[in-house]
Structure 1
Amino acid sequence: MARADPADSEGPDREIRLLKNPDGQWTARDLRANVTAQGESRSAALENLDAVVEAVEGEGGHPPTDEEIRDLGVDPDVARSQDDDLPDALQ
């Protein structure tokens, strides 16, 4: 278990748990934000976790790219030509 430096984030201290999985991947869990991320190394798992926390609590994230939309099995042109309703794969 690692504890983040309170100066690195706003609000309450972050408590983070790191686990090494049987497949060699690492799992990082932020107990305050209640989110989890994985990575091929400890540092990658922590970087991914920071990105997830930022997307959930901050201004992180971005509109999906065409490639990300295609990865969901959706044609980007069809997805963008629909009304305000998101395609099922994006809901």
Structure 2
Amino acid sequence: MAVKLRTPTEKAPYLIWKGSEAWVARDVRTGVASQGETRQEALENLDEAISLHEGEDSESIESWGEEREFLKELGIDPEEVKRARKSSRELPELMQ
């Protein structure tokens, strides 16, 4: 069971909590979420994910094939992401 540790503020517009296996951080404005082994890593990953989401670091991903390759580059199992999207309604809309 995840426990929310803080609520978003103007200065820090994100939620962060310790899940069963990792820290999870979600930006309230964009709905983008990320995770990490530590609280700091989750926040750093969230910052990168928001940059990618907003097109600051690269072009947007337009297909499952492109997303699959990008996830592999990050060391994330694309099939695990696909299964999680199908099985969980708790994921942010962006990841469903």
Relative to the length of structure 1, the TM-score reads: 0.52
What SS is found at the alignment partner of 1:59? Answer: coil
Instruction: Please name the residue that 1:78 is paired with.
Output: none
Q: How does 1:28-67 map to 2 (within 5 A)?
A: 28-61=25-58
- Aligned partners of 1:72 and 1:18: how far apart in 2? 23
Instruction: Please name the residue that 2:94 is paired with.
Output: none
Instruction: Please report how far the alpha carbon of residue 72 of structure 1 lies from its aligned counterpart in structure 2 after TM superposition.
Output: 7.5
Off by >3 Å, runs of 4+ in structure 1: 2-5, 61-65
Asked if 2 retains the 8 angstrom alpha-carbon contact of 1:28 and 1:36, the reply is: yes
- Which protein, 1 or 2, shows the higher relative CO under an 8 Å CA cutoff with sep ≥ 6? 2
- Aligned partners of 2:77 and 2:31: how far apart in 1? 25
Asked if 2 retains the 8 angstrom alpha-carbon contact of 1:4 and 1:16, the reply is: no
Q: What letter is aligned with 1:18?
A: I
- Aligned partners of 2:38 and 2:29: how far apart in 1? 22
Question: Matched residue pairs, number?
Answer: 61
Q: What letter is aligned with 1:32?
A: R
Q: Which structure: larger Rg?
A: 1
Instruction: Please name the residue that 1:10 is paired with.
Output: none
Q: Unpaired runs of 5+ in structure 2?
A: 1-5, 60-65, 79-96
Q: Unpaired runs of 5+ in structure 1?
A: 6-13, 74-91
Relative to the length of structure 2, the TM-score reads: 0.50
